[in-house]
């Protein structure tokens, strides 16, 4: 009985503050009609509209978001995000478009303890500064969320002579393969990568067919833990 009573109160409250007209729905306290151009017209001088609030992880986990979907992200960088056919974008708080960026890194030791065999990928299991929309699938795979062009840079200290390169959606990008014949130093690369579908998956790996597994050198050049980095920035 108590349940029915509270339900009746809620329904009465909605009816009392909502006016439905042929042209749209008006939510207000003065009984005025909705603007003719609006399906929903909310009017108040004392209260605001409260959008769904969630973390960046929760936002990117939304299944099949509709074009035009709007949410408020509560984690850094905090703000309103909207979805288009090209992926998620943040509504900038200044005149410039907010950039998308992420720094994923590894520390040796303990990361990448096993050699990286041909056809497998380098792990970057730690999260550095990021905009919240370029995120990881796992320790070695990363989502490029929107259709566009990205600047991708990596640096990895390797003991053996060998090569590293990028893959996009499981396909090796031949123009990104870099390496060295001998010596003990970093293998580095910086490239532009253009995606044609949302949520493309990027990795840094030892190209298949190479003869040598690569040791990601611990304590490279000294006694301090050394790092490897993968930095991704969307530029267009």
Model confidence at 150: pLDDT above 80: yes
Contacts of 151 (CB under 8 A, 6+ apart): 190, 191, 192, 231, 232, 233, 235
Query: Of 3.30.428.10, 3.40.50.2000, 2.60.120.40, 2.70.40.10, which CATH number belongs to 100-234?
Result: 2.60.120.40
| Whole-number pLDDT of residue 10 | 47
Confidence of residue 16 (pLDDT cuts 50, 70, 90): low
pLDDT of residue 185: 80
> Which range among 1-15, 31-45, 84-98, 185-199 shows the weakest confidence by mean pLDDT?
1-15
Pairwise pLDDT comparison (73 vs 94), residue with the higher score:
73
| Torsional class of 31: left (φ above 0), alpha (ψ -120 to 50), beta (otherwise) | left
| Higher per-residue confidence, 66 vs 24 | 66
**Position 233 confidence tier, pLDDT thresholds 50, 70, 90:** very high
- Cβ atoms 70, 81 nearer than 8 A: yes
Res. 88 pLDDT band, cuts 50 70 90: confident
What is the distance between the terminal CA atoms of the chain, rounded to a whole angstrom?
59
Query: What are the start-end ranges of the H helices in the chain?
Result: 2-17, 56-60
Confidence band, pLDDT 50/70/90 cuts, at residue 18: low
pLDDT of 7 above 60: no
Q: Region 104-116: what's the mean pLDDT?
A: 97
Residues 30-67 pLDDT 10s: 888 888 888 888 888 888 889 999 998 899 899 999 99
Q: What is the pLDDT of residue 59?
A: 92
Average pLDDT, integer, range 92-100: 65
What pTM did the predictor assign? 0.67
């Amino acid at each position: 009985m108590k349940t029915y009573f509270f339900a009746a109160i809620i329904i009465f409250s909605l009816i009392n503050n909502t006016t439905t007209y042929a042209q749209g729905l008006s939510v207000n306290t003065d009984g005025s009609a909705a603007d003719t151009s609006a399906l929903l017209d909310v009017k108040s001088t004392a209260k605001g509209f409260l959008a769904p609030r969630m973390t960046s992880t929760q936002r990117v986990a939304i299944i099949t978001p509709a074009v035009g979907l709007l949410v408020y992200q509560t984690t850094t960088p905090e703000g309103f995000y909207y979805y288009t056919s090209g992926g998620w974008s943040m509504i900038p708080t200044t005149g410039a478009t907010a950039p998308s960026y992420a720094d994923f890194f590894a520390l040796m030791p303990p990361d990448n303890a096993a050699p990286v065999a041909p056809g497998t990928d380098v792990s970057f299991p730690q999260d550095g500064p990021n905009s919240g929309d370029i995120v990881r699938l796992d320790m070695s795979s990363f989502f490029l969320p929107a259709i566009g062009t990205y600047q991708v840079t990596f640096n990895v200290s390797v003991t053996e002579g060998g090569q590293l390169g990028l893959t996009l959606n499981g396909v090796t990008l031949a123009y990104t393969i870099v390496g060295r014949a001998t010596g003990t130093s970093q293998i580095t690369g910086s490239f532009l990568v253009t995606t044609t579908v949302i949520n493309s998956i990027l990795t840094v790996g030892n190209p298949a067919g190479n003869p040598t597994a690569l040791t990601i050198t611990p304590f490279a050049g000294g006694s301090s833990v050394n790092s490897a980095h993968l930095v991704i920035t969307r530029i267009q």
